[in-house]
């Protein structure tokens, strides 16, 4: 019986390039070789595509490879990948792919658009302002500055003094042409993973709580100092509210396959932080660990994603 050819796409032309390479390498090694043939495709920082060898190729050559595959697993986090770009390429190439369609990827990657969609379906978000000019940023007390469309907390800074606000906005504008300046929220950081399970239907995984001192920034995300509690200790009422809100936002954005929906649980209730339509996918990443806690192994999670996309 012929194995299913899965194009595993990693890399990318953004600041999450190395994170994406790690996800792609981990997925390739975890796909069951009896069922799947993993076909590596890497997008270099310069935008050139690479296959099994390190010889750079063209997009046209990459499309030829995609055309020989049964399904694509796009693991490019961030802009020119997770933002719907790769989904659009797969749509044009006529190849099934894992994850959200173009529109959902674009909306979820845009933190400002996500806020508008979430508020429209009754899910509260942090008060914030969209800024394109550093001189127009208002300091209203401690704020968080973040690029509108960047992942892994790149460009995110906690600003506690007014003099530091404009430099923080300028730094964030190096990664995007729009920046969010948001109020600082005090509460527990809780993540909910949503999976379109081809066997059981849409479901959520056990909630994950991030415990960290200070801001959960890029350095803390990858230095191992953060503690993940799975399942997060929540009351039944808190858990149901978080799961309902995650599903509402997932559906309103038009997500598909898999997403991680991140919240703050404050004294005044839950507040949406952001939505990741292609979160980190190494075995030690948050989403695989969440489903592993429910008895779904990493290879089995990947199997469900691939089968769901092909279906």
Is residue 274 flagged as an active site residue? yes
Q: What are 188's strand-pairing partners?
A: 265
Is residue 110 flagged as an active site residue? no
Is residue 222 flagged as an active site residue? yes
206 closest CA partner among 296, 299, 100: 296
Is residue 280 flagged as an active site residue? yes
Q: Of 110, 262, 273, 303, which residue is the catalytic one? A: 262
- Strands of 198-294 (E only): list them: 201-204, 208-211, 227-229, 258-266, 269-276
Q: Of 274, 298, 303, 308, which residue is the catalytic one? A: 274
Is residue 176 flagged as an active site residue? no
Q: Of 16, 70, 82, 110, which residue is the catalytic one? A: 16
CB atoms within 10 A of CB 310: 14
Instruction: State phi, psi for 101 to the nearest 5 degrees.
Output: -70, 175
Q: Of 78, 128, 280, 308, which residue is the catalytic one? A: 280
DSSP conformational letter for 251: H
Q: Of 91, 170, 203, 222, which residue is the catalytic one? A: 222
Is residue 16 flagged as an active site residue? yes
Residues whose CB is less than 8 angstroms from the CB of residue 118 and which lie 6 or more positions away in sequence, other chains included: 124, 125, 249, 252, 272
Q: Of 260, 273, 298, 308, which residue is the catalytic one? A: 260
Q: At 14, which helix (H) or strand (E)?
A: none
Q: Of 20, 152, 153, 273, which residue is the catalytic one? A: 152
Q: Of 276, 298, 303, 308, which residue is the catalytic one? A: 276
What separation, in Å, do the N-terminal and C-terminal C-alpha atoms of the chain show? 19
Q: Write out the catalytic residue numbers.
A: 16, 152, 222, 260, 262, 274, 276, 280
């Amino acid at each position: 019986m012929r194995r299913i050819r899965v194009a595993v796409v990693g890399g990318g032309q953004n600041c999450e390039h190395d994170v994406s390479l790690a996800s792609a390498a981990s997925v390739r090694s975890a796909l069951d070789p009896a069922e799947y043939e993993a076909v590596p495709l890497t997008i270099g920082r310069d935008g050139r595509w690479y296959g099994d060898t390190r010889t750079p190729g063209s997009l046209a050559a990459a499309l030829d490879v995609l055309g020989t595959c049964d399904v694509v697993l796009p693991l490019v986090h961030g802009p020119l990948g997770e933002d719907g770009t790769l989904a659009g390429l797969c749509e044009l190439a006529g190849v099934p792919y894992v994850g959200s369609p173009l529109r959902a990827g674009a909306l979820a990657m845009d933190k400002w658009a996500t806020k508008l969609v979430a508020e429209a379906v009754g899910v509260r978000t942090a008060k914030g302002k969209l800024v394109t000019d550093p001189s127009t940023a208002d300091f209203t007390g401690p704020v968080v500055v973040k690029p509108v469309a960047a992942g892994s907390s790149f460009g995110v800074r906690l600003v506690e003094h007014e003099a530091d606000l404009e430099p923080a906005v300028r730094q964030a504008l190096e990664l995007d042409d729009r920046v969010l300046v948001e109020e600082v929220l005090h509460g527990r950081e809780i993540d909910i993973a949503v999976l379109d399970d081809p066997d059981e239907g849409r479901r959520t995984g056990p909630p994950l709580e991030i415990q960290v001192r200070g801001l959960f920034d890029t350095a803390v995300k990858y230095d191992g100092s953060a503690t993940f509690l799975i399942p997060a200790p929540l009351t039944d009422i808190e858990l149901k509210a978080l799961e309902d809100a995650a599903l509402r936002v997932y559906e309103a954005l038009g997500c598909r396959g898999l997403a991680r929906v991140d919240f703050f649980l404050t004294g005044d209730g839950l507040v949406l932080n952001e939505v990741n339509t292609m979160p980190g996918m190494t075995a030690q990443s948050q989403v695989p660990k969440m489903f592993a806690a429910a008895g779904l192994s990493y290879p089995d999670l990947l199997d469900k994603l691939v089968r769901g996309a092909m279906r």
